[in-house]
Amino acid sequence: NAKDAADHIIASHVHDLDTSAPDAVKIVTGDFNHCSLKKVLPGYHQQVTCTTRGDRTLDLLYCNIKDAYNSAPLPPLGRSDHNLVSLLPRYRPRVQRKPPVSKTVQKWTATACEALRGCFECTDRSVFTDTETNVSQLADRVNSDSANYANALNRFYARFDCHDFGREREEMKGVLVADHEQEQSMTVQDGDVLKLLKQVKPSKAAGPDGILPKVLKTCAEQ
C-alpha cells in the first residue's frame, strides 16, 4: 500500500546517507501522519514526545542518536493546526560531565628571574672552556664505544654481502671532502645570539628542553 511504499522510500534515502557519511548525525523530520519508521529504520530514535496536533503526535523527528533532544510544545504558527515543537539538546559537553581538576602551575616571578641571573653571573665557565676546546673530542670520549658497536652491527647484518664497495666509498669520500673544503666556514657572533634571544616571545610555551622563553629572554645577556 501507499503507507509501506512511503516508508521504504524514506528508508532508501536514509540508507544512502548512511553509506555516504556513516559517522555523521542524521535527522529525519516531518508530518508522519500515516508513516512509521520504527520497522524500516531500527537504528533511528523518535525524539518528539509531546503532542503536536490535538492529542496526537504527528510531527516527528527521527535521529540516529538516542535521547538526543528534549521536546516541548509551543503555540502554533499563524493559523496552523499543528503546534510548534521546541527541541533542546540533551548532550552535555565532556568538559561539563567530568569533575573539575586542579593543577598547580609554577610561574617565574621577578625575584626568581633575578636570582637566576645572579647564578649565571657567578658561574665559573672556565671549568668548561679550559678543559677541552674541541667538542668532537669530548663527544668521542663519552661515546668511545659507539663506533665499535655500530661496526659490529654492520658486520653482522652485511655478512652475506660479498661485494667490496671500497673503491666507490673512497670516491664518495673524496667528493664530500672536496665539497666541504669549498664551503665557507660559518661564524656566529655574540651579538647575533643576544639579538635573537631578546626577540623571543615570553608568552610562548616551553620547548622540548623545558626551558621557558621568558627565562631565555631574561637571561639573554648572561
Specify the amino acid at residue 69. Answer: Y
**pLDDT tens per residue, range 126-150:** 776 666 566 566 555 555 567 787 8
Amino acid identity of 43?
A: G
Low-confidence ranges of the chain (pLDDT < 70): 128-145, 159-163, 179-185
CA 101 to chain centre: 21
Task: Give the span between the Cα atoms of 76 and 68, in whole angstroms.
Answer: 23
DSSP 3-state assignment of 100? coil
Taking the C-alpha atoms of residue 62 and residue 27, their distance in angstroms, rounded to an integer, is 6
Write out pLDDT tens, residues 169-199.
888 888 777 766 666 667 778 888 888 888 8
Alpha-carbon gap, residue 75 to 51, rounded angstroms: 11
Question: Which residue type occupies 199?
Answer: Q
pLDDT tens profile 146-158: 778 788 888 777 7
Closest residue by Cα to residue 46 from 64, 34, 31: 64
Angstrom CA distances, 10 to 15, 33, 69, stand at 9, 14, 22
Burial code (b: 16+ CB inside 10 Å, e: under 16) for 18-33 equals beeeeeeebebeeebe
Q: What is the CA radius of gyration of the chain?
A: 37
pTM: 0.42
* Kind and range of the H or E run holding 81: none
CB atoms inside a 10 Å sphere around CB 53: 15
Residue pair 11/37 in contact (Cβ under 8 Å)? The answer is yes
